């Protein structure tokens, strides 16, 4: 598992949704739980999967109507790493944002 190079608020939200889930979840459920659009969620899931934090598989339920869903869950290494990362973020104050001085 690789360390995450970029940890944004949306990344933390996706990790929290995955931690809170009792079973693998699909992208639309992650979008609903986080309030983020697909253009934010799916790149994060892809990055987490390539880094070894998340694994995914296609749903195998043939009885469910509609298209197959891709299910995501944290890996055995990813779950404790996500917990530690979110705990560390909660304990540290946010970094100050650079001021944008007006020139004029």
Q: Report yes or no: 49 and 4 within 8 Å, Cβ to Cβ.
A: no
Q: Which residues pair with 54 in a beta bridge?
A: 74
**Please, what is the average pLDDT of the chain?**
91
pLDDT at 31: 97
Domains in the chain (CATH in brackets) are 9-88 (1.10.10.10)
How far apart (Å, rounded) are the C-alpha atoms in residues 61 and 65? 9
pLDDT at 63: 84
The alpha carbon of 96 is separated from its chain's Cα centroid by a whole number of angstroms, namely 24
pLDDT at 92: 82
């Amino acid at each position: 598992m690789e360390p995450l190079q970029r940890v944004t608020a949306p990344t933390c939200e996706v990790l929290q949704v995955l931690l809170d889930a009792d079973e693998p979840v699909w992208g639309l459920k992650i979008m609903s739980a986080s309030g983020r659009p697909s253009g934010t969620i799916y790149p994060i899931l892809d990055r987490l999967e390539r880094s070894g934090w998340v694994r995914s598989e296609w749903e195998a339920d043939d009885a469910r109507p509609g298209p197959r869903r891709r299910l995501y869950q944290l890996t055995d290494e990813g779950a404790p790493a996500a917990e530690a990362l979110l705990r560390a973020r909660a304990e540290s104050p946010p970094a100050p944002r650079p001021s944008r001085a007006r020139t004029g």
